[in-house]
Structure 1
């Protein structure tokens, strides 16, 4: 999985179109998403008492789409205090705003907001399956054909994580062993000196794990067999409760629908009588409502999880109903 995504010919490092050419995320769906994050930044800036430098660090930045959308908003509200950094293993895309820094690792000493938007689902992991004797064994995959077989039993670290977070109960049950994601997120959060770390991703909780796992592939907008040959995205949902607990800090866990609504994104249609008095405004409001509805759709993007950790401040959105 690591080679298929991030190797020399990996999906994320060698495809010039980037993720946007293959699947639609909240970042690509509507500028309303960036607007909501900008309102979160404004709240954080006030909570931090307007520091002389406010960092916005986007981990797994794709081709810099989110920071590009945030740049003019932050330039207006924060001015020269804003520092935007994209963290991505792919090469810096041509034409990216020069005020957006580009680097392969998370910088230390972040004061502000660290983001991981649909990043953790692409942190490489192993898959385990229970054999007929009830042993959890690694699933091996041919990187060319995608043919699967069972390998050796999982090691002690894997077995410990599975027992706590994803118990395998019956022959044929599968689990994605998520501790590499727990470690990756904990390391990222440790780079924040003051502010907030926010992970946004699709995922599940311990009481609702899918018995056969979620590993899949995407290419050109279509779901495909996850053959790890570099030709498609290879992704698996995130065990968000394990990731949250691994940081060792207070956290808030919300569905995107609730989080965006708390940040002013509503899919409510404008009043119909506006069409007669202000037809142009009505059409614009109707378009915004449609985009907001996509972002907050409980069966789609709205079902994504928002995991927020406060560092030196209380976790943002703590007062929003829905934290499990």
Structure 2
């Protein structure tokens, strides 16, 4: 998975953009980034409007989120805003000079960190339960053919016991401690602010018994052959990441759905009143389009079903999220 995604000829090293292969919240509607703009404003207020406000997008793709936030920031915020894209792909052409492009996390952050569909691409191993105990699943890089390999490491076994217990032969677990470490590294770099991960997710009570590893290419689901030709992804154990973030210093945690989070940030998916069609047809059509875009982002069986993990350091959870039921 590491070589297939981030090796010399890896999927993301080649500069592939997620929106070219699967639908994301960012590509679905600018209403998503408008909600993040509101969240950024709440973080800014909670931190007392610091002289420098960082906004870091981890796994930034083509930096669509940062472009929007920078382009719609008011004069005061624009002067203080430091947008940082963390991405292994080359810097895209035409990116505003104000956006810093780097391949590693900054050492310290005061502000907001966004990780939209990043953790699902952090490589991990797969373990399968057998009559002889758990075994690592090995895979041929060129064909995708699988075989059972040696026993997992003690670290793998400890993580699985805590977060993804295996019982029946044939059951599989996607060992998530690399993602826990990756998320902890984000929280550790927060001097003060909020980190939010949005991703395909599950919790300990809803783990998929045979795992979720899959591939995406050109808008279609494909076999996860690790030859660099497709995006390889697996859903995220966000509850385990939340515990890792708390160990890394988070003082407040919210684990919720994208539907609930975006509704708290002002999205409704409500259609405009019908009488607007007569009094202002153009505004009515714009309202219908906005309603449709918001409805897609809020759809519990689609993008709205994504998990949101929000953790803060040196500040409470922002007002819009603080009232949500975990």
Same fold (TM over 0.5): yes
d(CA) in 2 for partners of 1:320, 1:27: 25
d(CA) in 2 for partners of 1:187, 1:319: 24
What are the Cα deviations for residues 140-193 of structure 1, in whole angstroms up to 9, with x where unaligned? 000000000000011100000000000001000001000000000000111111
The question of 1:70 aligning with 2:69 is answered: yes
Q: Secondary structure at the match of 1:285?
A: helix
Shift, 1:24, TM fit: 1.1
d(CA) in 1 for partners of 2:322, 2:52: 27
CA contact (8 A) 2:271 2:291 kept: yes
Counterpart of 1:226 (choices 213, 220, 224) is 224
Structure-2-length-normalised TM-score? 0.96
Structure-1-length-normalised TM-score? 0.97
CA contact (8 A) 2:70 2:78 kept: no
CA contact (8 A) 2:33 2:65 kept: yes
d(CA) in 1 for partners of 2:192, 2:273: 42
**Matching of residues 167-182 of structure 1 within 5 Å:** 167-182=165-180
Match of residue 321 from structure 1: 324
Match of residue 288 from structure 2: 286
Aligned residue pair count: 321
d(CA) in 2 for partners of 1:230, 1:69: 30
What are the Cα deviations for residues 241-299 of structure 1, in whole angstroms up to 9, with x where unaligned? 00001112230111001110111111011111111111111110110000000000000
Shift, 1:70, TM fit: 1.6
* Structure 2: runs of 5 or more not aligned: none
Q: Secondary structure at the match of 1:153?
A: coil
**Matching of residues 164-313 of structure 1 within 5 Å:** 164-248=162-246, 249=250, 250-313=252-315
The question of 1:99 aligning with 2:98 is answered: yes
d(CA) in 2 for partners of 1:185, 1:14: 24
d(CA) in 1 for partners of 2:321, 2:279: 40
Shift, 1:301, TM fit: 0.3
Match of residue 4 from structure 2: 4
d(CA) in 2 for partners of 1:168, 1:21: 36
Q: Secondary structure at the match of 2:149?
A: strand
CA contact (8 A) 2:37 2:69 kept: yes
d(CA) in 1 for partners of 2:255, 2:201: 11
CA contact (8 A) 2:87 2:104 kept: yes
* Structure 1: runs of 5 or more not aligned: none
d(CA) in 2 for partners of 1:319, 1:102: 31
CA contact (8 A) 1:251 1:308 kept: yes
Q: Secondary structure at the match of 2:13?
A: helix
CA contact (8 A) 2:264 2:321 kept: no
What are the Cα deviations for residues 183-208 of structure 1, in whole angstroms up to 9, with x where unaligned? 00000111111110111111000011
CA contact (8 A) 2:55 2:114 kept: yes
Counterpart of 2:155 (choices 149, 154, 157) is 157
d(CA) in 1 for partners of 2:103, 2:59: 9
What are the Cα deviations for residues 12-37 of structure 1, in whole angstroms up to 9, with x where unaligned? 1114x411111111011100011000
